[in-house]
Structure 1
């Protein structure tokens, strides 16, 4: 059974068995929702004469900013005005499985024309986001290739620090199309297979709703401290960003304060990652905040930052080469020993069963034919991610956060995330406490990888 068949069968069953904590339709409740979202087709003018026909929340890109209070229950009615079943995932929240928005955990799909009420108690605080968790398979007009994403900010301790202005920036790629992967020669010592499947390329990119030099600039004043919340909402593309003449003081990752706030010239954001960074506006001028790759800026991945009283053509300067290193932001204290360690090896099994797409496996198994990871409530577990492929993999754990405890031979502590990017041939260890019973999905957040097998499920034994 492929993922599409599995989800269709599961969603049909769960639509009638969702239980008391998730409600179909407005008539089923006497109370109006706190918030409403509408999944609907829209046409987006991203600039330079480029229009995108897509599906979005409330016809806007990003979707409405949802600003919630930690611990204060909220109801959100989602109406599906599109032609395909869909659902919303509340990325980074410790929800129950029915409300999490992942069919693999038991969340119901929303049929076209139907309305579903989600009931959430926002936790933890920080920069979260919401997005579709449908599959696309070979159809690049669905799922994360659309405009279904938005910021979800949960207010509550700790304080993000003194700043004068907040700016939320979401990265998205548009005009997806399949491109053949060229066979590459691999060193025999790496023992890596050659692959001939398909990858996804893009015609355009935006920060929020516009391509570089198409929307309004970010206007700042000299001496301001600006809190940038940056989100990579792309379906498949990891990005590197810079703002010439400035540094980013990273204060949080995936919404969680980092143990060691640290300033860098270049930010790395894998798919689904978020970074909160303070920028001291101390270099007056008109600048490009954008991708470090010229070809990405050329298709729109950037935004202009304009100081008050300054004008002229925006300036870009290539930053000095630098490697992204999670350990710079982490502590070095010893961490508790886990109850158990799960070793998870990721591989590309090549195109199987006459598919033109590569199948991804974890320990040799592709979803849905996987062996669940079994955990006990209250225990601490370690997952050892071994990337035996030539691709980067942003690995996301639903309904929990984890602590990154080792990258290769470097031990670290205190870096709490829900998505970690595992580089080619790299090994990364993350620890989590099984404190939120119910099925929890673990997967690569690249849509093409997730659709073709790269998922695992964690189940509680009690």
Structure 2
């Protein structure tokens, strides 16, 4: 049962509806409603426990107390209200990753809103202009809050819903756990200065190598979201012909065959496929060197469906860049070296990464650093992005959508994204219209890179 079919204020009042929805991957809503075109949700963050490693309980931080977090569903062009309550013992916020919404709703502490204190409720209200697969997470104490479980997906349906026979949301995350489900270090400085500290226990929707069923001949949409702090997943599908239909929530004009595609932290990938004959295993693989890992699998079951082509996705209404009059801004992402600055108490303050020779200074109430760039509202900019390190950097811009023009010196068929993955010594050119006023975070989405310098903000005035 799709969430948009609900009309009651309290979702739990319908036990049958709850049972149907909770059977879906990554879907465990506590309350939701859609009345008169308005979507309304209740969301909280709190300490909880989860059985991530079978047979063991792990202390986690969780939205609505559950792993996986609720998948919030809404519709393009329709208002959304989310009442968020902080039941943690520390401040937090919620950032709606990839959504082009007003700055007041972007969820960055001090820059766009005051931190939400323990016990407080903050109401987020916005109308998503784009359809697609997005996600949500805090923007405070990110290594811990994201690392211990505060990650969830938000699915924005098309204004005129596109009908697939089946749809599955798959959240990819490696947890920093030992075989007994006990926490290991979330960040180790020597790794923070390199690729980041990888987790060791891989899950999809909080389960290690989950198995699902899929009706044969079903037109299927798989919404993959990389909610990991560190890892980039090269993705491959085995057992079925699969097509890339959207990148980072944005449909591509002509779907292309999926051979292998990298999704870095913060990135998403929508895959379309027609389920093969009953008894076939369709496997989602993490192509790690010569030894790929199974992420999740689907076994096809008999059905009465009639085979048909995959439905087409309408493009999102992203402004077309005026390339003839665009201004180019250059950004270099590099390593700062081995010197560790110290604070007044002599404690090391790690700053391993630089953006244009500047490490992020941090911010607090009344202490906002200067922007890394000031942009004129309505003007087109080309961001020339250069990674001069050997490590991946997924560069994410809040509040806007890039149109990627070049990757590693070669023109590409332009596509839309909110996160550009720069590989080893990678180089990209991405254009956008600075049409959303405000102060927008701009950072690497490897969380340890972000927290040790590779972050800033651009101001659109």
Superposed, which structure 2 residues align to 1:33-112 within 5 Å?
Answer: 34-103=40-109, 105-112=111-118
Q: Is the 8 A contact 1:38 1:58 kept in 2?
A: yes
Question: SS at the partner of 1:34?
Answer: strand
Partners of 2:371 and 2:418 in 1: CA distance: 22
Which of 255, 264, 268 in structure 2 is aligned with 1:261?
255
Q: Is the 8 A contact 1:198 1:356 kept in 2?
A: no
Q: Which residue of 2 aligns with 1:164?
A: 165
Q: Which residue of 2 aligns with 1:344?
A: 331
Q: Which residue of 2 aligns with 1:148?
A: 150
Query: Residue deviations 1:375-427, cap 9 Å, x none?
Result: 11111001010001111011111011110011122223530110111111111
What is the number of residues matched between the two proteins? 386
Query: Residue deviations 1:219-264, cap 9 Å, x none?
Result: 0132222110000000111112223222320111111111221012
Q: Is the 8 A contact 1:132 1:143 kept in 2?
A: yes
Partners of 2:216 and 2:40 in 1: CA distance: 39
Question: SS at the partner of 1:103?
Answer: coil
Structure 1 residues 181 and 224: CA distance shift in structure 2, 3 A = same
Structure 1 residues 303 and 272: CA distance shift in structure 2, 3 A = same
Which of 278, 281, 290 in structure 2 is aligned with 1:286?
281
Give 1:157 shift: 4.4
Partners of 1:198 and 1:129 in 2: CA distance: 23
Q: Which residue of 2 aligns with 1:402?
A: 402
Partners of 2:116 and 2:82 in 1: CA distance: 13
Give 1:174 shift: 0.8
Q: Which residue of 2 aligns with 1:13?
A: none
Superposed, which structure 2 residues align to 1:16-35 within 5 Å?
Answer: 34-35=40-41
Q: Is the 8 A contact 2:351 2:359 kept in 1?
A: no
Structure 1 residues 105 and 199: CA distance shift in structure 2, 3 A = same
Question: SS at the partner of 2:125?
Answer: strand
Partners of 2:280 and 2:194 in 1: CA distance: 45
Q: Is the 8 A contact 2:224 2:269 kept in 1?
A: yes
Superposed, which structure 2 residues align to 1:175-194 within 5 Å?
Answer: 175=176, 177=185, 178-179=187-188, 181=190
In structure 2, list runs of 5 or more residues that go unmatched: 1-37, 177-183, 303-319, 343-347, 362-368
More displaced, 395-404 or 70-79? 70-79
Note if 1:174 corresponds to 2:171: no
Give 1:117 shift: 1.1
Note if 1:377 corresponds to 2:371: no
Partners of 1:420 and 1:158 in 2: CA distance: 28
Partners of 2:377 and 2:274 in 1: CA distance: 44
Q: Is the 8 A contact 2:276 2:300 kept in 1?
A: no
Q: Is the 8 A contact 2:228 2:266 kept in 1?
A: yes
Question: SS at the partner of 1:219?
Answer: strand
Partners of 1:52 and 1:247 in 2: CA distance: 38
TM-score under structure 2 normalisation?
0.77
Which stretches of structure 1, 4 residues or longer, exceed 6 Å deviation after superposition?
Answer: 195-198, 294-298
Q: Which residue of 2 aligns with 1:249?
A: 243
Partners of 1:35 and 1:460 in 2: CA distance: 30
Note if 1:208 corresponds to 2:214: no
TM-score under structure 1 normalisation?
0.77
Give 1:180 shift: 6.5
